[in-house]
């Protein structure tokens, strides 16, 4: 069974997202835990979360991959802004308890000139504080394109965060557009990149995938998503990824420039390439 889905709007609630996902052939999905460009979170609705959990089980969905706000920069330079980002992370992880067993993915952050090492330290500290023992959530650091001072463009940086946090509840979400833009050639050498991931981080930490084609050429460090098969990655790359014996069983989330009909078509396309 392949778990394929896309990013959905969270505005109508958790159960509504399960229904929407089902209607477009998805059996996993992603959603923002709060306004992606702001910080406002929705009012908690335990009955909706419980109903969504029951529906996920009934319909045999794979794990969901919630996404933290883009604005949450745990390693920003201003101490007040950093403290605020930590509070947002704490609140998000606490809220994930209503959806036990699902993933929480976020962008590690941008060190804005403070240096990679300082940035990694801030991110790891924030995670150590926010990830209370017993929380039923696994946090996923996203592989980044290495745009500007982004942390997470190299596997070594993610590994350093994972080691510093020292929890089993930290893993990685591999974004295909980001890694290709970041200089890992999954078009010409997918097996080589996965071997490198395994050597540096360990494939047991690779918990989820973001499936995006890229509008930019290899190693451009740009991060602009294209629809599947319409960018520099191409259909053959996605065929190889979804059928790969080492990673093809992970939840796979589309974050391509689409509305629901486009997502439905891409999910169908990916499922048609299953071998």
> Which has the closest alpha carbon to 215: 206, 204, 226?
226
Is 210 a binder of Fe ion (CB under 5 A)? yes
Is 181 a binder of Zn ion (CB under 5 A)? no
Q: How far is the CB of 197 from Fe ion (least distance, A)?
A: 16
Is 223 a binder of Zn ion (CB under 5 A)? yes
Angle (CA) 270 271 275, round 5°? 100
48 binds, among Zn ion, Fe ion, none (CB under 5 to 8 A by kind): none
Is 175 a binder of Fe ion (CB under 5 A)? yes
Kindly report the number of other CB atoms within 10 A of residue 100's CB atom. Answer: 11
Of the pair 92, 223, the CB lying nearest Zn ion is at 223
Closest residue to Zn ion, judged by C-beta, is 223
Of the pair 131, 223, the CB lying nearest Zn ion is at 223
Binding mask 138-167 for Fe ion (x = CB under 5 A): ----x-------------------------
Of the pair 35, 167, the CB lying nearest Zn ion is at 35
Contact region with Fe ion (CB under 5 A), list: 38-46, 169-177, 197-205, 215-223: 169-177
Contact region with Fe ion (CB under 5 A), list: 80-88, 206-214, 226-234, 264-272: 206-214
Of the pair 45, 147, the CB lying nearest Fe ion is at 147
Q: Which residues contribute to the site for Fe ion (CB under 5 A)?
A: 142, 175, 210, 255
């Amino acid at each position: 069974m392949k778990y394929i889905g896309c990013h959905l709007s969270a505005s109508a609630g958790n159960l509504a997202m399960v229904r929407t996902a089902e209607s477009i052939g998805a059996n996993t999905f992603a959603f923002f835990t709060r306004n992606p460009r702001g910080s406002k979170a929705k009012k908690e609705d335990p009955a909706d979360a419980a109903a969504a959990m029951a529906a996920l089980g009934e319909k045999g969905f794979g794990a969901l991959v919630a996404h933290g706000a883009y604005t949450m920069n745990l390693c920003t330079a201003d101490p007040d802004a950093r403290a605020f980002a930590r509070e947002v992370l704490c609140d998000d992880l606490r809220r994930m308890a209503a959806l036990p067993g699902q993933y929480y993915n976020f962008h590690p952050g941008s060190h804005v000139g403070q240096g990679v090492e300082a940035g990694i330290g801030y991110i790891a500290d924030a995670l150590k504080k926010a990830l209370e023992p017993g929380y039923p959530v696994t946090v996923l650091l996203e592989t980044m394109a290495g745009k500007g001072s982004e942390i997470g463009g190299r596997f070594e940086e993610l590994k350093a965060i994972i080691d510093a946090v020292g929890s089993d509840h930290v893993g990685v979400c591999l974004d295909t557009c980001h890694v290709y833009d970041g200089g890992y050639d999954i078009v010409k050498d997918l097996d080589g990149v996965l071997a490198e991931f395994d050597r540096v981080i360990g494939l047991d930490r690779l918990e989820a995938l973001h499936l995006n084609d890229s509008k930019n050429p290899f190693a451009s460090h740009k991060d602009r998503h294209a629809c599947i098969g319409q960018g520099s990655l191409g259909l053959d790359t996605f065929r190889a990824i979804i059928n790969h014996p080492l990673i093809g069983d992970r939840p796979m989330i589309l974050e391509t420039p689409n509305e629901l009909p486009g997502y439905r078509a891409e999910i169908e396309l990916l499922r048609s390439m299953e071998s």
